[in-house]
Amino acid sequence: MKLTTKYSVLIASLFLIISFLNQDIKACTRVMYQGPNGTIITARSMDWRDEIPANLWIFPRGMERNGEVGSNSIKWMSKYGSVIASSWDIATSDGMNEKGLVANLLWLAESKYPVYDSSGTQKGLSIACWAQYVLDNFATVEEAVTELRKEEFVVVSEYLPGTKRFTTLHLSISDESGDNAIFEYIDGKLVIHHNRSYQVMTNSPIFEKQLAINTYWEGIPGTIMLPGTNRAADRFVRATYYINAIPKTDNTRVAVASVFSVIRNCSVPFGISSKDEPNISSTRWRSVSDQKNLVYYFESVISPNTFWVDMKNIDFSKDSKTKMLKVGTGSTYNGNTVDLFVDTEPFKFFGI
């Protein structure tokens, strides 16, 4: 019996979904809200099976950095100041710079990075520095895409310290105009997806296949049925539907609250994990970046409250100090926490 085009597409889509659900991944979700009058807000959840302590850092302009992969490391000086969330104080996993550029790192099991020869001519950058490099150097997505497309360095990955888990990540960035880009290394090649419409990213499979899966669900009204599990495919569909279903408003309080509600909807309840399904991991923290007003919101599950960092109150000048706010210890904060950051020596990025 010959299948119609409609049923062929349906079956192909279902195979993609099944393939997606079987991936061994660590869960995270990233979503962007595009509202009226320049209201742009990017949110992400950090989901992980184990504890992944986070602290918030203020980095000024003019910081001397290197890629932490030996003598061939790329070197740079930070052009822009930023507020970031660290992981284990060895990597930048999330953050926003003073120009409203946001960077989010999420797990991607299919990542395969180029072979790096530390004694060769190719410059290298530790994956722990990837997001920070972008925040330090670029004001817009277009600038970052143009520069990174030149591939003047390669991203170098390594096993997470003390584990047998090789680090495989993809990077999403967004700016105050509402532009988006996603960077993935597939079979050793850099793949860049650049489009304002790329508002949502989760984990496996590669982003191209995430879009294909979502195309199937677009034919099913979200008011009738949405997939409800914690798996990456379901989170991608829910985030895509809800971020476009919530009211479009330039009322900052309403917009931020609405975006928080979407990222919470895509989170995994604390304490939920499965030995047989490592793709299901508890949400450890959430961030929401208001790119119009330059306010970075943060919410940790071990300290059930939401606080923020108003970047307009920060001195990012070259002569200012690096500062840190401890959040991985369950400390409780309220409101604008800029004055609670303390002068701290910057952490050393993990390398090889």
Q: 270 with 51: CB under 8 angstroms? A: no
Q: 34 with 16: CB under 8 angstroms? A: no
What's the distance, CA 222 to chain centroid? 25
| Catalytic residue chosen out of the listed positions 27, 28, 32, 69 | 28
User: Collapsing DSSP states into helix, strand and coil, what is residue 339?
Assistant: helix
Structure tokens at 40: 């742009």
Cβ atoms < 10 Å from Cβ of 270: 12
The Cα 249–Cα 241 span in angstroms is 17
Q: 84 with 59: CB under 8 angstroms? A: yes
With residue 242 as reference, give the H or E element that holds it: helix 232-245
Structure tokens at 119: 């004694």
Phi-psi region of 68 (alpha: psi -120 to 50; beta: other; left: phi over 0): left
The single-letter DSSP state of residue 30 is E
Cβ atoms < 10 Å from Cβ of 24: 10
Whether 28 is catalytic: yes
Positions marked active-site: 28
